Amino acid sequence: MQGMNRRQGILVAVLLALAGALAAVVSSVSDDEQPTPAPLVQTGRPSGGGSSLLAAPAAEELRGAARGGDVAVDPGATTVAFPLEVELELVRAAGLLDAENAPGLGSGASARLRGRINDAAGRGAPCRVTFVAGPNAGRVLESAADGLLGASDLYPGLSIVEVTGATIPGAMRELRLRNGKQALLNIGFGRPAAVYGQVIDRGGEPVGDAEVTMDGRRAQSDERGFFHFPQMASGQVLVFVRKPGYAAYRETYNVTAGQTIPRGRLRYTLERGVNLKVTIPERIGATQSAQLYLMPQFGGQSARQRQRSFPWYTVSPVSIFPGSTVTIDDLPPDRFQALLFHAGARAVPVKTEVNLSSGKALHLVLHIEPAPSVRGVVQRSGRPVGGALVTLELPDRAKGTQWLLKMPPGVHETHVFGNLGVQSALTGSDGRFEFSANEALSGVRYLTASAPRGQGWAGRVLRPGDTEVVLELEDPTVELASLEIETQERHQALPVEVWVNGEPRDLPLLPPGVPLRIEDLQPGVWKISSRWHREVLWDERELEIDDETEWELVLPAGAIEG
C-alpha cells in the first residue's frame, strides 16, 4: 500500500531504578512474542472510556519482601501520596503520508486542551466533548471516569464544543485554541445560577416565542419576551437567540456560581432578517455542487464585535449547483463577504462584498470559470469503488484557510471557521472524484481515500503537475503497539496518571510487582515525559517504537516508601 506501511504491535519495557540501580531497559517485540497478560484487576479509580490495562499477578505473586521479611502485601494499599505521571505524545506516526521538505499529514494540529467536568456534588463526571463547529468539527473526546479530559492534537481556531454526560445537564462553550498553547475547559455543575432575561426587537417591543439557547439549555420567550433558566452552570456560557423572520443573535455571557440575574439586566435585541438570493449561471462541473461561504468583514474592532453577534458558521457553507439559484433567509442587515468554491473551477471574482439593507432582499449573481483540477478513481483490484470518502488537503490546514480567506493573523481566533484547506467528496458508482488542484497554495498536497465501512485505505503525496490519480485500496491492517513500564521491587501500590496525546487513560493503582501497560499506541516516534510530585523524571525524550531502546530513570524514594 502506497503511503502506509504495515504496522506491527510493539511491547516496550522500561525498568525504573533507584539511585543504586539507575539503568532502565526498553525493549520492543512483536505481538506474537508478547506473554499473555493475566486478568485485569481494578484496585484504583473505576475504569471508564480508556483502553489501558494492568496485568494482574496471581495472589501468591503479590507476596513480596518487605523490610520485616516475607509478608502478604495488599495490592491496593499505599501510602504514596502523589501519582507517577506519564505523558505520551505522538511526534511522527509510522506509515502516514510524509513528503520531503513539507509538513506531514496532520502536522498543523498542535493546539492543546485540558480540563475537568464535575457534577452537582463536585465529583468528576464522565462525559463526552463534541466539537460541533470550527476547525475541529466532528472530533469527539471521551473523558476519563473522574471527568478529566484533554487532547494535544487539535487544529487552532475558535471552536464550539458540546459537553454531554449521563450525570450532568450538559453545556455548550467556545474554545479559543492556539498552536502550541493549552486551553482550559473546566465546568462545575454545583451552585447553579438563576437567569432571567428578555428578548425585544429594535423598537423595544417584546418578541415572544423566540428560542433562547444558553449553555446548550433551551427556553422559549413568553408573550412579553421573558425567559427563565432556573439552574445554569457557571462560567462563560454560549448564548443563541433565534426566531424565524429575524437574524439570529449570538454572544458569550459570564454566569457567576450561585447568583441570580434578575429581570431587566439581560436583554437581547433581534433585528428583522434579510433574504439573499444567489445564482450561478454557468454550468461548469454540474455533477457537483459549489460551496458558498458567507463571512464577516475583517474590519476594525467595532465591526468585528458587531459581526460576532451573528453565527455565520450556522449558514455556511451553502450548497449551490452551477446553473441554479438558492435563497438564504434571515441574514443580518450588514456588510459581509461571499466566497465561492467549486471543484475544477474558480469564482470570478474570488471574493464578493455584500451589503444587505433592512427590508430589502438582494439578488447576487456569482460567476465561475474552469480552473486546474485533480481527477482520479478509487478502485480495488482494478474495479471502481463507489461511496469511498476521498480527501485532498494541504500540509497545514490552518494556513491554507487563512490564505483562501485573505484574512489577517488572529482572525481565526475571534470567528468560527471550518478548515477550507481540506476538500472532501464521495466517489460515484464509477469510483471517480474531482478536486481543485490548489497548487498555488502548496505544491505538496495529501490525497487519501477510505472505503465504506472502513474496508480499505489508500494514500498518495501529490506534487505539481499531478492531475490524474489512481488510488488502489488495500486492507487497513493496523496493529497497534503497547508500552509496558516495569518498576523495580515495590512493597506497596503506586498511583499512576497516564495521558496519551493529551487524553487521559483510566488506570487503577499499580500493585507491587506489576508492570504498567499502556495499550493502543500507534507505531512511530513518541515523545515521553514523566514526573513524580514536582520532580521531572523524563523530559520530552523521544522513543521510536520499532527497535530496542535503552533508557535511564531514577524513581524517587517517595514513590516507593510513601
Q: What are phi and psi of 303, to 5 degrees?
A: -65, -40
Three-state secondary-structure class, residue 119: coil
Q: What is the pLDDT of residue 278?
A: 96
d(CA 441, CA 229): 48
Give yes or no for a contact between 156 and 177, defined as CB atoms under 8 angstroms apart. yes
DSSP 216-275: TEEEE--TTSEEEEEEE-SEEEEEEEE-TTB--EEEEEEE-TT-EE-TTT-EEEE-B-EE
Sequence-separated (6 or more) residues with CB below 8 Å from residue 504: 50, 143, 144, 148, 149, 150, 497, 498
CA dihedral of 380, 385, 388, 392, whole degrees rounded to 10: 70
Q: What is the dihedral of CA 251, 160, 256, 414, to 10 degrees?
A: -50
Element (H, E) at 188: strand 182-188
The whole-angstrom separation of Cα 79 and Cα 94 is 41
Write the Ramachandran bin of 239: left for phi over 0, alpha for psi from -120 to 50, otherwise beta: beta
pLDDT at 302: 40
Q: Is residue 413 within 8 Å of 122, Cβ to Cβ? A: no
Contact yes or no for 157/175 (Cβ under 8 A)? no
pLDDT at 547: 56
8 A C-beta contact, residue 134 and residue 157: yes
Can you give the C-alpha Rg of the chain in angstroms?
Answer: 28
Helix (H, G, I), strand (E, B) or coil at 450: strand
**Listed residue (241, 124, 132, 219) closest to 504, CA to CA:** 124
Rounded Cα distance, 156 and 411, in Å? 11
Global confidence as pTM: 0.80
**Secondary element (H or E) of residue 330:** strand 325-331
The pLDDT of residue 17 is 33
Grid cell at residue 84: 507517577
On whether the CB atoms of residues 401 and 417 are closer than 8 A, the answer is yes
Q: How many helices (H) and strands (E) does the chain have?
A: 3, 45
Per-residue exposure over 291-327, b if at least 16 CB sit within 10 Å of its own CB, e if not: bbbbbbbbeeeeeeebbbbbbbbebbbbebbbeeeee
Work out the number of other CB atoms within 10 angstroms of the CB of residue 504: 25
H-helix or E-strand spanning residue 296 = strand 290-296
Q: Taking the mean position of all CA atoms in its chain, how far away is CA 520?
A: 19
Compute the C-alpha angle 302/225/240, nearest 5°: 45
- Regions in the chain scoring below 70 on pLDDT: 1-76, 285-286, 298-308, 407-409, 477-478, 547-553
Preceding peptide of 349 cis, ω within 30°: yes
Return d(Cα 158, Cα 382) in angstroms, integer. Answer: 43
pLDDT on residue 552: 62
Is 529 in contact with 539 (CB distance < 8 Å)? yes
8 Å CB contact between 134 and 154: no
pLDDT of residue 403: 75
Q: What is the pLDDT of residue 193?
A: 96
